[in-house]
Structure 1
Amino acid sequence: MQLCLSSGWGGLEMYPSRIIPELARQGWQVYGLALSGSRVADSMRDAGITPLTVASKGRALLGVRRILAYLATHDIGVLHCHKSSDLRLGALLATLRPSLRLLFTDHMGVTRPKRDLYHRWAYGRVTRLLSISDATRARNLQAFPLPAERIRRLYLGIDPAPYAPRLDLKEREGLRRELGIPDGAIAIGMPGRLTHGKGQDTWLEALSGLQHARPGLAWHGVLIGGLAVSEGSDEAYVAELKALSETLGLADRVTFTGFRRDLPRLFEALDIVCVPSRNEAFGLTVIEVMAAAKAVIGADSGAIPELLDRETGRLADPGSPAAWTTAMAELADDHALRERLGNAARQRVLDEFSLAAHVGALIGEYQEGAGAS
């Protein structure tokens, strides 16, 4: 059972619906537990299952007998939590149903110690804590009251097929015009939620630096991400970014796309993609860009250096717009380099970061010490 009692919508909340079809393909019967009316519940339905739903986290705790009966009826032996606040319910269920294997994936990257009495009880019921990168595991080892052997690194994965190029030349040129990219310009994109810490301000300042350092270079910026709270963004920060764009003289050279569902196709319209997030626990966007065979510049912080090296992309200090300007200029000047890096990046995703491989390893964690379900 995938447990995610969140009313939000981000990578953490999307994860269960991403793995459910692959778990089913690999022979597992999957169940879900989510909040009534949440996007998580809707996404689970879209992924092919009908989740058990509760009105709130409090109602879930009060209705624990109902959930226990559901677990027993469906002979569910594994409970996989994705949000730390859900561990209260997960640990209670594991206490009342001792045969239940409780797993928790730390999608966010813990930032403070969790070793008080409550956390020792809750994490004490966790069979396996899964860290999504080596950087995250290092923090987990420091923060959680668990022995090292119960904290394992399991990289995330994606289905690379949707990111393979599909547009013909005419379609690609049409999409570029739609995005405001002038003919012959180098398109420099940045995808992601428009929130503090993702680095859009650094990216804009780097583009301003590129404008001054290379006045003869034809380029256009494409900022991809929702502009409203309902789309996962910080509206006050969006306003700051638009004001910064005006102040830097970039209003005519940067397109704010708003929320888009066709991200793999947008990548096809771009030449360079930047991910300057300051402290990614993994960097899912990075491997999506890599799967699209695009030249990517990532932040030299968090887990991103585990994904990129000099053969597959470039790294830059997320606190230094000048470093990003330099990296952008290098890639803008060399079409062959962009092609070589992009092709090598896609191959690495195929070799190391596929969803099938991720789920296969996850199933291994589900099964260890217990029978298959």
Structure 2
Amino acid sequence: MHICLSDGWGGLEMYPARIIPELQRQGWEPHGLALAGSRVAASLSAAGIEPLTMASRGRALLQVGRVLAYLKHHAVGVLHCHKSSDLRLGALLASLRPGLKLFFTDHMGVTRPKKDLYHRWAYGRVTRLFAISEATRARNLAAFPLPAERIRRLYLGVDLSPYVPRLDEAARESLRRELVLAPDQVAIGLPGRLTPGKGQALWLEGLARLRAIAPDLAWHGVLIGGLTAREGSDEAYVGRLRERVAELGLEKDVTFTGFRSDLPRLFEALDIVCVPSRNEAFGLTVVEAMAAGKAIVGANSGAIPELLEADCGRLAASEEPQAWAEAMAELGRDAVLRRRLGQAARRRAERQFDVRAHVRALTDEYAGIVGHAVGT
């Protein structure tokens, strides 16, 4: 059972529904526990399972007997939590029903020590804690009251198949026109939630400098992401981004797409994908762009340098717009280089980030099989 009692919507909340189809293909029977009416609950339903739902996190604790009865009825032996606040329920269930295995994935990257009495109790019942990158594992080792052997690095995985190009030239050009792209323009995209940590403001400054250092380059920026809180974005920040676009004179040079459910197809319309996130715990957007075979510029901070090897893309300092402008200019001027980097990125995604391998490693842990290449 995957437990995610969150009313937000980001990579953490999307994770259970992302892997459920592959869990089923590999012979497991997944269940879910989510907040009633949440996007998590809706995503689990869309993935093919009807989750057990609770009105609130507090209600879930008060109805622990109901959850235990559900676990017994469905012979559930593994719990997997994705928010640290959900460990209260997970640890309580594991305490009340000996034999339950409890797993926790730290999707966010812990930022402060968690070694007080409560956290020693809760994490003491965790069978395995998964870090989603080496960068976060280093922080986990320092912050959590667990021995090193119970903290394992397990990179996230994606289903690579949707990212294989499908559009013919006419459909691709039609999509580019929808994004306000002229035929001769290099399309520079930035997908992700519109929140300060994702670096959109830095990217806009980089685009303004790109215009200055490469006046001969025809380009257009495509900012992909929801514009409302319901879609996971910071509405005040979105307003500031629009104001900055106007101040920089980029109104005709940048398209705000709003939320799009067709990201794999949007990648086909892009030439360069930028991921300027600061201190990213993993960098799922980087992997998705790699799967799509795109030339990528990523921030040189957090886990992104682990994902984006030198032959797969370029790294730029997360606080230096000039570095971003120079990287975008280099890739924008060289279509052959973009193609080579994109092909190398796709091959790395196939080797390292396929959801099938991720789920095999995960279920080996569920089953207590030691020795799979999960990381140390």
TM bucket normalised to smaller: over 0.9
Relative to the length of structure 1, the TM-score reads 0.98
How far apart are the structure 2 equivalents of 1:127 and 1:369? 13
Q: Is the alpha carbon distance of 1:311 and 1:364 closer, same or farther for their aligned partners in structure 2, counting shifts above 3 Å?
A: same
1:267-282 map, 5 Å: 267-282=267-282
Secondary structure at the aligned position of 1:208 is classed as helix
Provide Cα deviations, 1:34-54, integer angstroms capped at 9, x if missing partner: 111111111111111111111
Give the ranges of 4+ consecutive aligned residues of structure 1 lying more than 4 Å apart after TM superposition.
none
Matched, 1:215 2:241: no
How far apart are the structure 2 equivalents of 1:75 and 1:174? 51
Shift in Å, 1:317: 0.5
Shift in Å, 1:161: 0.7
The one-letter code of the counterpart of 2:289 is V
Give the equivalent residue in structure 2 for 1:107: 107
Q: Is the alpha carbon distance of 1:120 and 1:338 closer, same or farther for their aligned partners in structure 2, counting shifts above 3 Å?
A: same
Give the equivalent residue in structure 1 for 2:57: 57
1:163-312 map, 5 Å: 163-312=163-312
Secondary structure at the aligned position of 2:3 is classed as strand
Relative to the length of structure 2, the TM-score reads 0.97
Greater shift in the superposed pair: 355-364 or 211-220:
211-220
CA contact (8 A) 1:31 1:51 kept: yes
Give the equivalent residue in structure 2 for 1:340: 340
How far apart are the structure 2 equivalents of 1:141 and 1:46? 36
Provide Cα deviations, 1:164-222, integer angstroms capped at 9, x if missing partner: 11111111111111101112011111000000110001100000001111112111000
Give the equivalent residue in structure 2 for 1:131: 131
Give the equivalent residue in structure 1 for 2:374: none
How far apart are the structure 1 equivalents of 2:364 and 2:318? 36
Shift in Å, 1:369: 6.6
Shift in Å, 1:357: 0.4
The one-letter code of the counterpart of 2:121 is W
How far apart are the structure 2 equivalents of 1:198 and 1:42? 25
How far apart are the structure 2 equivalents of 1:168 and 1:245? 32
Shift in Å, 1:234: 0.4
The one-letter code of the counterpart of 1:147 is P
CA contact (8 A) 1:290 1:349 kept: yes
How far apart are the structure 2 equivalents of 1:113 and 1:35? 28
Secondary structure at the aligned position of 2:319 is classed as coil
Provide Cα deviations, 1:16-63, integer angstroms capped at 9, x if missing partner: 011111001000011111111111111111111111111111111111
How far apart are the structure 1 equivalents of 2:90 and 2:312? 40
The one-letter code of the counterpart of 1:301 is S
Give the equivalent residue in structure 1 for 2:116: 116
Shift in Å, 1:72: 1.2
How many correspondences in the alignment?
370
Secondary structure at the aligned position of 1:197 is classed as helix
CA contact (8 A) 1:309 1:315 kept: no
User: Cα RMSD between the aligned structures?
Assistant: 0.9
Secondary structure at the aligned position of 2:141 is classed as helix
Greater shift in the superposed pair: 133-142 or 62-71:
62-71
Greater shift in the superposed pair: 351-360 or 37-46:
37-46
How far apart are the structure 2 equivalents of 1:181 and 1:161? 26
Unaligned runs of 5+ in 1: none
The one-letter code of the counterpart of 1:260 is R
Give the equivalent residue in structure 2 for 1:82: 82
The one-letter code of the counterpart of 1:125 is R
Greater shift in the superposed pair: 43-52 or 76-85:
43-52
Secondary structure at the aligned position of 2:104 is classed as strand
Secondary structure at the aligned position of 1:9 is classed as coil
Provide Cα deviations, 1:59-87, integer angstroms capped at 9, x if missing partner: 11111111111111111110000010000
How far apart are the structure 2 equivalents of 1:221 and 1:42? 32
CA contact (8 A) 1:131 1:154 kept: yes
Provide Cα deviations, 1:266-322, integer angstroms capped at 9, x if missing partner: 110111110000011000000000011010001100000010121111111011001
How far apart are the structure 2 equivalents of 1:157 and 1:369? 20
Give the equivalent residue in structure 2 for 1:155: 155
The one-letter code of the counterpart of 1:146 is L
The one-letter code of the counterpart of 1:231 is E
Give the equivalent residue in structure 2 for 1:353: 353
Q: Is the alpha carbon distance of 1:178 and 1:154 closer, same or farther for their aligned partners in structure 2, counting shifts above 3 Å?
A: same
Give the equivalent residue in structure 2 for 1:331: 331
CA contact (8 A) 1:276 1:298 kept: yes
Greater shift in the superposed pair: 136-145 or 49-58:
49-58
CA contact (8 A) 1:222 1:255 kept: yes
The one-letter code of the counterpart of 2:318 is P
How far apart are the structure 1 equivalents of 2:49 and 2:226? 28
Unaligned runs of 5+ in 2: 371-376
How far apart are the structure 1 equivalents of 2:80 and 2:253? 45
How far apart are the structure 1 equivalents of 2:356 and 2:232? 27
How far apart are the structure 2 equivalents of 1:39 and 1:264? 21
Identity of aligned residues (%): 70
CA contact (8 A) 1:61 1:89 kept: yes
The one-letter code of the counterpart of 1:118 is Y
